[in-house]
Amino acid sequence: MEKIGDGAEAVIYLNKNIVIKDRIKKGYRLKQIDEKLRKFRTRRETKVLEKLHAIDFPIPKLILSDDKNMLIKMEFLNGKKLRDALNNTNCVKLCKELGKKIAILHNNSIIHGDLTTSNMILKDEIYFIDFGLSFFSEKVEDKAVDLHLLRQALESKHYEIFENAFKAVLSGYKIKNPDYNIIIKRLEKVELRGRYKGKS
């Protein structure tokens, strides 16, 4: 078994073609609170993955969820991280596809919570991974914040193309989300708040 990732929430292992997500204990939390929180997050992530499977959304196949040992086992996706595949030539096409897929998430009341190009795999299409911070919500604010986090990630990791990339994301999002105008208005407010905080 090979360790392939180490995040704030979990350690990720690869065993043949199976990814194992192990929600690690947090020593700074009381044991009972830690177990309760890890169990809750494991169950919530599982519910999100099950919902996405039900609507045939491109994610790794869920193999096993074990909320006693705080483990989730999934299919390993053999492809490139979008972070490493996105460039000036393909950014409009890929980001438009990305926007459509984020709209599908939001239309189904799913907030990813960590939309970065490191959490997307490019194979025959864009697959989304790492739903550890995801949750269900119909709130316009949560959808706007999800988009805002993606914008920040694009600006940070793909600063040379981020303006065209994010415009393409929004054009794809607009096609699939009937609440586009409401969400974009809220996104503008979220970004204003972010700029105000940055100056204070």
List the structure tokens of 13.
């292992």
Predicted confidence at residue 194, as pLDDT, reads 64
Phi/psi of residue 107, each to 5°? -65, -25
Name the catalytic one among 34, 114, 130, 179: 114
In this predicted model, what pLDDT tens digit does every residue of 75-94 receive, in sequence order? 999 999 999 999 999 999 99
Provide mean pLDDT across the span 31-40. Answer: 90
Domain ranges (residues) in the chain: 2-75, 80-199
List the structure tokens of 123.
């194979």
CATH of segment(s) 80-199: 1.10.510.10
pLDDT band, residue 1 (cuts 50/70/90): confident
Phi/psi of residue 52, each to 5°? -65, -35
Predicted confidence at residue 27, as pLDDT, reads 74
Q: Please provide the DSSP assignment of the chain as one string.
A: -EEEEE-SSEEEEEETTEEEEEE---TTS-HHHHHHHHHHHHHHHHHHHHHHHHTT-SSPPEEEEETTTTEEEEE---SEEHHHH--TTTHHHHHHHHHHHHHHHHHTTEE-S---GGGEEESSSEEE---TT-EE---HHHHHHHHHHHHHHHHHH-TTTHHHHHHHHHHHHHHH-TTHHHHHHHHHHHHHHHHHHHH-
Question: Are domains 2-75 and 80-199 of this chain identical in fold?
Answer: no
In this predicted model, what pLDDT tens digit does every residue of 142-195 receive, in sequence order? 999 999 999 999 999 999 999 999 999 999 999 999 999 999 999 999 998 866
**56 an active-site residue?**
no
How much is the mean pLDDT over the chain? Answer: 93
List the structure tokens of 192.
């204003």
CATH of segment(s) 2-75: 3.30.200.20
Provide mean pLDDT across the span 11-27. Answer: 91
Per the DSSP assignment, residues forming a β-bridge with 169 are: none
Q: Is residue 19 predicted with pLDDT exceeding 80?
A: yes
Q: Is residue 198 predicted with pLDDT exceeding 60?
A: no
List the structure tokens of 84.
């490493």
The lowest-confidence range among 29-38, 41-50, 175-184 is 29-38
HSE of 172 in the Cβ direction (CA atoms, 13 Å)?
A: 23
Q: Which residues contact 59 (CB under 8 A, 6 or more apart)?
A: 49, 52, 53, 127, 128, 129, 131
pTM beyond 0.85: yes
Predicted confidence at residue 164, as pLDDT, reads 96
Predicted confidence at residue 124, as pLDDT, reads 93
**Cβ atoms of residues 130 and 114 within 8 Å:** yes
pLDDT band, residue 141 (cuts 50/70/90): very high
Q: Is residue 200 predicted with pLDDT exceeding 50?
A: no
Angle between helices 162-176 and 91-107 (to 10 degrees): 40
